[in-house]
Amino acid sequence: MRKIFNYFILLLSNILILSFLSIWNIAYAGNVVVYTASGPEIFEPIAKGFKSNNPGIDLSFIVLDTGEMFQRVKAEAGNPAADITFGGSIASYENYSDLYASYDSPEDANKFSKDPDNKWHGFSIFAQPLMVNTNKVNESDYPTTVNDLLDSKWQELGGIALADPNKSGTGHTIVSGLASGLGWDFTTDLIKVTIVTPGSTPMFEGVRDGEAAIGWVNEDLGAKWEAEGLPVKMIYALDAVTVQIDAYGLVSGGPNPDDAKKFIDYLGSKDGQKVAVDIVKRRSMRKDMEPPSGLPLLGDLPLFPEGEPRSVIKAKFTKIIESK
């Protein structure tokens, strides 16, 4: 009887071990976990294109604010759950470079800009024009410059939405770029009259939905909404247009680096970048790709990328908001 009992315990233990191993294999083999600061309008068509060429690899996306995404990778260092982060500026990747593995993707040789340490990989270039809600703003009231936003009429029309750079990479790029181009005196006055949103998505959607009269938008999303007939209009200001290079990186020590590298190669490939241009409406980082139709040439715009480090921008922004 005791032998039968011992045999039963041994059998049960083996079953549990095999079950655990099966669950582990399902969770990790052929599955790439991607933390992303981009919305589904960006990552879903990219994932679809990758899946068509790699049917044996699944992609699991977890959407986070830009700052939250990097903080989460930092908190998980030593036992990371993510294989890749997708989205965020190259400056952010450089600030957290110790969290990323060096990977020399062959596709990076075809790009305008390349990280010499191979930690970040450029995905796209996009401008961040102003966007008005056409139900709230008449064409005769459209601004031609960012300076025009200091006119008190914008408070009467519904306000100016601005993403908080403490929580949003887009907000950081906008505030930092405007400060670089127009100076901190002007940028301070502008921040004081804005409606601060807890991320870029609330800023975009707040203008779209009429909760604010005007704000900023990533041009790919603004172009989509215009094409869909939504009540929005993008305006490329004559004095300052902020611009950002969006990137992605291989998390150091991630659970599935081999398949993750395949996704990284796809993101920079001509096939992946064609999806970015044709469907997502992003400007490609590749030298051999034309920009999306309908967008102005970057050379015709007064472009200002982010300047000061994010820690400096966050401290200055917080001080301005607290003094309102």
120: exposed, middle or buried (Cβ count in 10 Å: 0-12, 13-18, 19+): buried
Residue 290 is assigned to a structural domain of this protein = no
Q: Count the domains in the chain.
A: 2
Q: Please, which pLDDT band fits residue 23 given cuts at 50, 70 and 90?
A: very low
Where residue 230 sits, what CATH number does that domain have? 3.40.190.10
Residue 45 is assigned to a structural domain of this protein = yes
Q: Are residues 98 and 209 in the same domain?
A: no
Q: Tell me the percentage of the chain whose pLDDT exceeds 90.
A: 78
Residue 2 is assigned to a structural domain of this protein = no
Residue 32 is assigned to a structural domain of this protein = yes
> DSSP assignment of 282-313, as one string?
PEESBTT-PPPTTSPPGGGS-EE---S-HHHH
Residue 289 is assigned to a structural domain of this protein = no
Query: Is-contact 101 252, C-beta < 8 A?
Result: yes
Angle (nearest 5°) at CA 95 between 185 and 303: 45
Average pLDDT over residues 156-182: 95
The candidate with the shortest Cα–Cα distance to 70, out of 304, 311, 244, is: 311
* Helix/strand/coil for 232: strand
Q: Are residues 142 and 41 in the same domain?
A: no
* Helix/strand/coil for 100: strand
Q: Are residues 57 and 194 in the same domain?
A: no
- Other residues' Cβ atoms within 10 Å of the Cβ of residue 80: 19
pLDDT at 6: 41
Which amino acid makes up residue 25?
Answer: N
Residue 251 gets which letter from DSSP? B
Q: Are residues 109 and 138 in the same domain?
A: no
Look up the pTM and report it: 0.76
pLDDT at 293: 87
